[in-house]
Amino acid sequence: MLGRYVLTTKHPLRIAIAGLGTVGSATLDMLEKNRDLICQRAGRNLQVVAVAARDKTKHLQKIKNGIQWFDNACDLAPLPTVDVVVVLIGGDDGIALKTTETALRNGKSVVTANKALMATHGVRLSEIAEETGAQLMFEAAVAGEIPVIKTLREASAGDRITSVQGILNGTCNYILTRIGEDGLTFEEALKEAQNKGFAEAEPSLDVDGHDTAHKLALLAALAFGIPPSFNDVSVEGIRNVSSLDIHFANELGYKIKLLGTARLTDRGLEKYVGPCLVPKHSVLANTNDVLNAVSIQIDTLDPITLTGRGAGGKPTASAVVADLMDLARGSSVLPFGIPAAMLKNVSPALCEEKLSSWYIRMRVFDKPGALTSVSTIFSQKSISIESVIQRGQPGLESVPVIIKTHEVSESAMRWALAKISKLETIQETPCAFRVEEPAHEDCPDSPNRMCQRAPEGMGKPFNLG
Ligand SMILES: NC(=O)c1ccc[n+]([C@@H]2O[C@H](COP(=O)([O-])OP(=O)(O)OC[C@H]3O[C@@H](n4cnc5c(N)ncnc54)[C@H](OP(=O)(O)O)[C@@H]3O)[C@@H](O)[C@H]2O)c1
């Protein structure tokens, strides 16, 4: 019987892979090992015909019969034997950009995992793809095996999305999990992540939040029909999060996660990346180690939360192969869901006006009246306090004081923190993280809801005076 599972007589989808590192090698491997399954499900053969990387000697074993080798990835696209170029070289310009542009200009489709490239040049590359009729796909650029690009671009295309929020960097999530579980310092947890291959030798792109900002820029573009841009994302990394913070956050009913958030508000579009306290029982809070999670809020419906492995060779290759299979089936989608010319900026919400409650950790000298000065500064900006934790120990010169505030504007909080830092009774610059309150007040433990159980003793404004 003829059916959709029978291979068609179409010529195979002929693939060239640029870059044979972690993702490139895993893609090649998956296409070979799962060949029959992939071809059966795509209804067409997928065949790797050419590869390119820098150092041929490293990759000799991967260059099987029939696969052509190239030192220059730009030489792949003009080949008449190539239908699609898979760009798995990093960087937002240089060879990755050149290879992608050359392919699209030659009318060859591109599949890429390169988020920096897409977040920086996404609009221009989409325009070229539209002009030449090529496809440009980048499911692998955000959250590895989680099909979040497809969900935003296709599954939720008819819905009005109001926010996208997620744990988008596995390295940071691993480090935060290790700090929380074993009381490691940031440096110890980073070293462990590097030893296990979860973090780069040069980790700043990950731990300072820029990788999350690149991914957030892509998700926001798809969710809100805006041009991808990460320069307007307020970004803070995880270097200041300590085991003390994770401990006290837990006492308050929260966990600390590095979140990327894009949210439409009455004041405009908020885009920020930073360590945030999330309710302990929420899906985001329980997404640990290298896992990622993305929560999409649609109008008044409950959020959809997707979780899975966000990085690594195999999970990322799985997203690359899914895009290749879509191409093999003849799918045709615009990279950002709408024509590049229709991507329009939404006015940004000023970060200073953003209302949130805050978690603040400060080290206060154990002297009478020390907290009164803090309270006086808060009262000058009408900042009200929801909870205070102070754990003094006899003989210690200073003690940690943890404060959770009610909602306050970011500008008021920054003003107060600057003043508090200058107090003689404060030993070091206070640390402050936003608290992401639950979307729904009373919610069962449904995986599709963000929920919080109020810890005992919380809820009433506190008076420090
Ligand atoms: N690793 C992950 O978990 C992950 C997850 C999601 C997305 N991504 C993205 O996927 C892309 C690839 O990441 P990766 O981790 O696979 O990188 P990688 O392991 O560093 O591999 C990069 C590959 O690019 C090749 N290359 C570099 N410069 C080249 C040049 N000038 N000409 C030809 N080839 C060149 C390298 O060649 P040699 O091998 O010969 O040195 C290597 O094979 C990046 O954009 C990354 O952000 C990675």
Contact 397 CB / ligand 1 (< 6 Å): no
Nearest to 82 by CA among 123, 124, 110: 110
Torsion, Cα 363 366 372 376, to 10 degrees, reads -30
- 311 confidence band (pLDDT: 50, 70, 90): confident
- Least trusted range by pLDDT, from 228-242, 413-427, 441-455: 441-455
Full-model pTM:
0.91
- Domains observed in the chain: 13-144+316-342 (3.40.50.720), 148-309 (3.30.360.10), 353-435 (3.30.70.260)
- Judged by DSSP in three states, 254 sits in strand
Per the residue annotation, which of 115, 150, 215, 257 is the catalytic one?
215
d(CA 32, CA 48): 9
Contact 22 CB / ligand 1 (< 6 Å): yes
User: Does position 53 have pLDDT exceeding 60, yes or no?
Assistant: yes
Residue 369: the pLDDT is: 82
113 C-alpha to ligand 1 centroid (Å): 9
Tokens 């069962």 correspond to what residue? 444
Is 256:282 a contact under the CB 8 Å cutoff?
A: no
- 439 confidence band (pLDDT: 50, 70, 90): low
d(CA 439, CA 456): 20
Edge to edge, what strands does the sheet with 109-112 contain?
68-70, 46-52, 13-18, 84-87, 109-112, 136-137
In sequence order, what E strands does 168-298 have? Answer: 234-235, 254-265, 268-279, 291-298
Residue 67: the pLDDT is: 96
Type of residue found at 274 = G
Provide the terminal-to-terminal Cα distance of the chain, rounded to the nearest Å.
82
**Averaged pLDDT score across all residues of the chain:** 90
Contact 97 CB / ligand 1 (< 6 Å): no
User: Does position 449 have pLDDT exceeding 60, yes or no?
Assistant: no
Residue pLDDT, tens place only, 138-153:
999 999 999 999 999 9
Nearest residue CA, atom 14 of ligand 1? 22
Task: For residues 111-133, give the mean pLDDT.
Answer: 97
d(CA 88, CA 140): 10
User: Does position 440 have pLDDT exceeding 50, yes or no?
Assistant: no
Residue 8: the pLDDT is: 52
Q: Residue 392: how many CA atoms within 13 Å on its side-chain side? A: 10
Task: For residues 205-217, give the mean pLDDT.
Answer: 97
Residue pLDDT, tens place only, 361-390:
999 998 888 889 999 999 999 999 999 998
Q: Between these two residues, 395 and 373, which has the higher pLDDT value?
A: 373
Q: Which atom of ligand 1 is nearest to the CA of 94?
A: 31
Residue 192: the pLDDT is: 94
Task: For residues 43-72, give the mean pLDDT.
Answer: 94
d(CA 237, CA 210): 8
Contact 222 CB / ligand 1 (< 6 Å): no
Q: What are phi and psi of 327, to 5 degrees?
A: -65, -40
Is 242:184 a contact under the CB 8 Å cutoff?
A: no
- Judged by DSSP in three states, 148 sits in helix
Is 361:426 a contact under the CB 8 Å cutoff?
A: no
User: Does position 359 have pLDDT exceeding 90, yes or no?
Assistant: yes
Residue pLDDT, tens place only, 322-345:
999 999 999 999 999 999 999 999
d(CA 435, CA 195): 32
Task: For residues 199-205, give the mean pLDDT.
Answer: 89
Residue 438: the pLDDT is: 66
Residue pLDDT, tens place only, 397-437:
889 999 999 999 999 999 999 999 999 999 989 999 999 98
Contact 30 CB / ligand 1 (< 6 Å): no
Residue 99: the pLDDT is: 98
Go through 383-416 and write b for each residue having 16 or more CB atoms within 10 A of its CB, e for each that does not: bebbbbeeeeeeeeebbbbbbbbbebbbebbebb
Query: Has 215 been annotated as catalytic?
Result: yes
Is 346:229 a contact under the CB 8 Å cutoff?
A: no
Q: Which of 89, 120, 205, 316 to mutate to test the pocket of ligand 1 (most atoms within 8 A of CB)?
A: 89
Hey, what are 241's tokens?
């999060």
